[in-house]
Amino acid sequence: MEIYGAAVADKLDNTKGILKRRYYRQHCTLEYGSYTKDLSSVHNDLSSVIILDNSPGAYRSYPDNAIPIKSWFADPSDTCLLSLLPMLDALRFTADVRSVLSRNLHLHRL
């Protein structure tokens, strides 16, 4: 759903040019009946790469780089993405996002 993903990325980027490369379904691999995203195609060093996705299958190979999020259905009162902004901002200051996100994903499993 490139149209949906592009709209979200545009809103997040706010014309700053930070989100230079974007990956959509055509960049995924079909594994075990779901689309998986290969983060190594983004960068060899995954210490600064995150994946924000509503589908755990999409990040099955990179759980320590993942930020799970609920699906969005054009609900103007949905604040899930907004609630992540403090964490996303804080990730700028960590040497390896996986050290923070691996704990975050563990909390979602509890």
pLDDT recorded at residue 46: 96
Among the listed residues 61, 59, 39, the one whose alpha carbon sits nearest the alpha carbon of residue 49: 39
Domain residue spans of the chain = 2-109
Does the predicted TM-score (pTM) go above 0.85?
A: no
**In terms of CATH, what superfamily is 2-109?**
HAD superfamily/HAD-like (3.40.50.1000)
Residues 14-62: pLDDT tens digits?
Answer: 777 777 777 888 888 898 888 899 999 888 999 999 998 888 889 999 9
**Measured between alpha carbons, how far is 68 from 33 in angstroms, rounded to an integer?**
19
Task: Give the chain's mean pLDDT.
Answer: 84
Q: Which residue has the higher pLDDT, 85 or 95?
A: 95
**Measured between alpha carbons, how far is 94 from 78 in angstroms, rounded to an integer?**
28
- All residues at 6 or more sequence positions from 59 whose CB lies less than 8 Å from its CB, including other chains: 36, 37, 39, 51, 53, 65, 66
